[in-house]
Structure formats: structure tokens, C-alpha cells
Amino acid sequence: MRDDPAEPAYRRGLVLITAVVTLTGVLWAALAPPFRAPDEPQHVNSVLRLAYGGGWPAAGEALVSPAVDVARAQAELATDLPGRHFDRVDAPPFMAIPPVPDRDRPVVDAGNALADPLPAGTSTRHLPKTAVDQMTQHPPLYYAVAALVLRGTGLAEARWDHQLLALRLFDVALLLPVPLLAAAAARRLSGSRPAALVAASFTLFVPQAGHIMGSVTNDALVTLSGAVITYLCVVVLGGDLRARTAVWLGLALGVGLLTKVMVAFALPMVAAAYLVAPGSRARRLRGTLLAGAVALVVGGWWWLRNLLVLGTVQPVGIPDRFAEGEPAGLWHFLRTGVTLLTRSFFGNFGWLELRIPDGVFWTAAVTIGVLAVIAMVRLPDTRRAVGVLLMLPAALWLAVLVNTWPDYQETGLIIAVQGRYLFAGLAALSVTTALGAAALLGPRIGRAAPWLVGAACTAAASGLAFGFWGFYQGPASTVADAAARWAAWSPLTGPQLAVLVSVLVLAAVAAVLACGLFARSTSLAETTAAPQPRAATTAAGTGSSA
């Protein structure tokens, strides 16, 4: 490994791809208008409550603070973005509202960060929906860590837009390890460095991931937890049945479970990884039980307590207040639900109102599906591992649809179907699609890696451009007008935003070039190296350039 001339080139490529993924999240954090991401005001409100010692009320009893109320009003969330899929009759256009000047954006402090207590005998059911913070239906870990970030950076008392940007950047920091973990998992399974580079770049093919991970949301910690769990499952599948590995896996599960219930759907993947891993039955059983016990102690207890005390796994944070209709049957539910889930996985920006074209997200979804099948069919050595990893995104996908089915039967509405609920499986999809690409291309994967990484960067740029157009430009204004409006809404200045865009472009170009140099160095190494038995390379599982 130390004498392999392609290894330094591989590492440079991986570092630069990770930089592009991270900078893409940073640009999304700066691009999205204030609070224009799902439930972002409530997420921020819960962070502020913990930062100011307001505790964690029972589900349905938390209120939105005066500071967040003012900030939400200044953000003009009741308006329609210029790129919205349809204009509401009773909503003014966002373009018609002048941005609030920086000097008029109030500071959050002890006087406005906490809501007044709910009067005795009063139910939040009788309050406006916007007055209730439903996030206390979740465990508090993400919000507690984010509150420490505000306190540690001195931003607990600051302008609301500065706090919002800081918390968004905290979530981007949680995104940074995801491409590294995906690359490490892909390389462990395949021994292929080009496949690892493709796996690292996968998140760029999912613009919604950059948007969500560049917003304030507990899904950021869920996504990181899912990536760590996926990598450790690959380690187990490679035969690592040590107690230490099981403890780390249990910790990752526990952190995820103390964040959101979606991580519970990783449990079948973990159990399956130990079930098919090489080694004695006793060691595999010990690893399964140890990982499960640690997960229960760290985070699983929250959901067990809910079940024992409240009679439900996850209580309702705020009762739904939608007009009821009649369900139109199973086929309508499946067709509409799958479309909503697929579109919002790849690109429903803002509060899901900026919809990328149907042909784009369906093409992306079919491509992922085909590559996953190819990885299962054409890679017999890793077929079991691919099947195990696919259990996580499949379980999440099925759980989202099953969860909303009772509401649909009762009200005729399909709600709580959002692609971000699948992001715990991002790393698993990264690995399986990269392995599918490697199986499809064979030895050409090395030469194809720069092109695939370039395509990923193009997809990310296209998503950002679509977001810029939909947030600030629309069909009736110029790019210059939109850029000026972006700068006016942002806590950053126009020159600062220009520098951020330029750095991302340079990083993307450098990443593609680095992958090209890696492909060239790999080709040279293959030409000059003495022939070695294929079986020995496969057994080693490292250093293969294919």
C-alpha cells in the first residue's frame, strides 16, 4: 500500500469530493430563504428552548417562543416563492415583499427565547397550529447538542438570522463524514478505489440531501447515524465480530434512536449483518445481543418508555388539522405516495413547494434501482452484503408508506410522506449504487470515475441553480435581480456569497481533475506492475485498482 503510487491520488480525490459535498451543503445553508425548509422554525425553537433552560415538555405541550414568532413573520413564510409549483389565491408573492433590513432583525435573548407557560387547563388543540412546537414528540439529543453549539459559539444571544445560519452550518458539519464513510464501506466490500470515489460522490446526485442537511433539522444527526451504522455493518460483514465493534455499532444505533425513530429501521440490517457474517454462531449471537443492549441503554429506552407510559411508540406532537375527504383507493394511495416520496427524496426544495421535473427524479430513481439490481446479480462475492445494506432504505421506504396509510383511510389525505425520512439510508444507497456501477463497467470503472464524479458535481450544481431560480428569480426577473434579492435576505453580503460560490466551483473542478489524475496513475500502475494472481488480490481486499 505504501509503495502504491495511486494511493495518494486516491486520497486527494476523496478529500476533494468530500469538500465538494460539504461546500454544497454550506451553499444550500446560505441559499435557502430563512425558515424555508420543512419544520425549520420549530426545530430552531426547540434548540432555543434548551439553550435557555426551558426543558423538554411533553409532546403537544411545547409552544413557539416570541423570538421565533417574530423571526417567522419577518421571513414571510405565508408568501409564495416565485418557483412554486402553483400560486395560491390567498398568498402574496414572495417577490413583492421587501427583505427586512439587517438592523431591524431582532436579537434573541432571555427575554424572548422562551414561550410563556401554557395556562392551567388550556389545551394546545385550541391554539393556532403555528403556535405549537411539535418537536418534543422526538427525543432531545439533536436539540441539546445544537443548543451547546449556540452556547459554545456565543450565538445564544444574537440576531435570529445569525443563529439560523450557525445552526444550518452545524448540520452541514454532520454531513461531512457521510461521503468518507460511504467510500470506506464501498472499498471494504469491493477493494475498488474508483468505486469508493463514486460512492463518496453519491450524495451530490441527491440535491434534496444538500438542501435538508443545509437546514436546521434533526434529520442531520439521523443521516450521520445511519452512515456510521452502515459502515460498521460492512465491517461486521467482513468478519469483524469483536466486542468492541459491537459496542460501537450499539452506540451509533443508540445515538440515532435518541434522535428520531427512523433509526429503529436499521435494526433489521444490523441483525442480518451478524446473521450472514463469517464466524461461529456463538460469536455472531454475542455481537447481535451486545449491539442491541448498548443501543437500548443509550437511546432505545426512550421508545420503550413511550410504549410503557404513553401506550404508543411516538406520541403525536400536534393533532392534524386538515379538512377530511374520502380515500380514493389503494392504487391512488400507492401511485401518489410513491411519487411524493420519490420526488421529495431527490428535489422538493423549500417547504416542498419547489418541485424538480418528473423526468429528472424518475430517471434518477430508476437508475439507482437498476444499479442495485446489477450489484446483486453480477457481484456474487458481495451479493449478501448488498442485500443486507439495501434492507435499510427498503425498510424506511416501506415504513413511511405504511405509517401514513391509516391516516389516508381516515381522511383521504396522504401526509408525512417526505424523502428526507429515507436519508438514514443514504450511505447504504451510496455503496450499493457504486458497486452496481463497478459491476456494470468492469475494468472501465477506473477510467469512468472522473466522468461519474463530474456528473455528480453537475447534478449538485443543477439542484442549486434550480433552487436559486425558484427561491429568488422565477420567470419574470433577471439573474442580477435575483442575486441582489438573495444577498438582501441573507445575513451574508453579496461579495461573501460570490466567494462561496467561487470556492465551490473551484473545489468541484479540482475534484474532477484529481479523479482524472487518479485514473491516470492507476492505469500507469497497471501497465508497469508485474502480473499478480487475481485470487490473491481478491483475498486481500485492499489495493485493487479495479
pLDDT tens digits in sequence order for the chain, 546 residues long: 456 778 999 999 999 999 999 999 999 999 999 999 999 999 999 999 999 999 999 988 899 999 999 999 999 999 999 999 988 988 999 999 999 999 999 999 999 999 988 776 676 776 777 889 999 999 999 999 999 999 999 999 999 999 999 999 999 999 999 999 999 999 999 999 999 999 999 999 999 999 999 999 999 999 999 999 999 999 999 999 999 999 999 999 999 999 999 999 999 999 999 999 999 999 999 999 999 999 999 999 999 999 999 999 888 877 665 566 788 889 999 999 999 999 999 999 999 999 999 999 999 999 999 999 999 999 888 999 999 999 999 999 999 999 999 888 888 888 889 999 999 999 999 999 999 999 999 999 999 999 999 999 999 999 999 999 999 997 778 999 999 999 999 999 999 999 999 999 999 999 999 999 999 887 655 444 333 333 333 333 333 333
SS (H, E, C) 338-393: HHHHHHHHHCEECCCCEECCHHHHHHHHHHHHHHHHHHHHHCHHHHHHHHHHHHHH
Q: Using DSSP, state whether 535 is helix, strand or coil.
A: helix
CB contact at 8 A, 31 and 349: no
Query: What pLDDT does 321 receive?
Result: 57
Amino acid in the structure at residue 518: F
pLDDT single digits (tens) 87-136: 898 899 999 999 999 999 999 999 999 998 877 667 677 677 788 999 99
Quote the cell numbers at residue 529: 506492475
Q: What is the largest CA-CA distance in the chain?
A: 81
Rounded to whole angstroms, the Cα distance separating 44 from 39 reads 9
Q: Mapped to the 3 state alphabet, what secondary structure does 225-261 carry?
A: HHHHHHHHHHHHHCCCCCHHHHHHHHHHHHHHHCCCH
**What nine digits make up the cell of 84?**
412554486
Q: Is 52 left (phi over 0), alpha (psi -120 to 50) or beta?
A: alpha
The whole-model pTM stands at 0.93
Alpha-carbon span 93 to 321, nearest angstrom: 25
Q: Helices 177-190 and 426-441: crossing angle, nearest 10°?
A: 40
What is the rounded average pLDDT for all residues in the chain? Answer: 91
Q: How far apart are CA 364 and CA 377, in angstroms?
A: 20
Query: What tens digit of pLDDT does each residue of 144-200 get?
Result: 999 999 999 999 999 999 999 999 999 999 999 999 999 999 999 999 999 999 999
The confidence score (pLDDT) of residue 529 equals 39
From residue 218, alpha-carbon distances to 155, 161, 181, 239, 343 in Å are 19, 19, 20, 32, 21
- β 348-349/354-355 pair status: antiparallel
Q: Are 316 and 60 in contact (CB under 8 A)?
A: yes
